[in-house]
Structure 1
């Protein structure tokens, strides 16, 4: 059986005096995940608004990705398919054993 879904991501950006804020909202068939990101212009940097927009948007989408991966991990564990040990590297910060 083929199943086709469409999930949409909406990114909103606001710039104000050297700070760019972004909100990324992923809409799925079952809900919404929202992430936020910020970029600050350093006084010694050249003011290129596009760079702040890219950084803030990337950080907001990265937040959405982390939340989506956590939800997938929870769903896997709920059906008995989750990992039995520490998380494998592959997303987020690499795992390092103590």
Structure 2
């Protein structure tokens, strides 16, 4: 068995994620922005407190931010699939 390694230089990137949270009454909104350097993805989500639950702002923050992060994750997966399809070698060349 021939064990070959490539000597390609390591490539690093920094992606920036910003979450802005806004609260008003029983509603928490989040505006999330993911800047990859190549793309910018945005998500706007919200969480509504059940009127029968105690007012604990941290819980609304967690729900709204979690939803924004899940949405950004779905957007990243769709972008990856689109990019992979666009870069797939054509079978009809």
| Same fold per superposition (TM over 0.5) | yes
**Structure 2 runs not aligned, ≥5 long:** 1-8
Counterpart selection for 2:75 from 67, 72, 76: 67
Bigger shift: residues 6-15 or 71-80 = 71-80
Bigger shift: residues 56-65 or 7-16 = 56-65
Under a length normalisation based on structure 1, what TM-score does the superposition of the two structures give?
0.78
Larger radius of gyration: 2
Residue 2 of structure 1 and its aligned partner are, at CA, apart by 1.0
Under a length normalisation based on structure 2, what TM-score does the superposition of the two structures give?
0.82
Question: 2:44 is paired with a residue of what secondary structure?
Answer: strand
How large is the RMSD of aligned CA atoms in angstroms? 1.1
For these two proteins, the number of residue pairs brought into alignment is 81
1:19 aligns with 2:27: yes
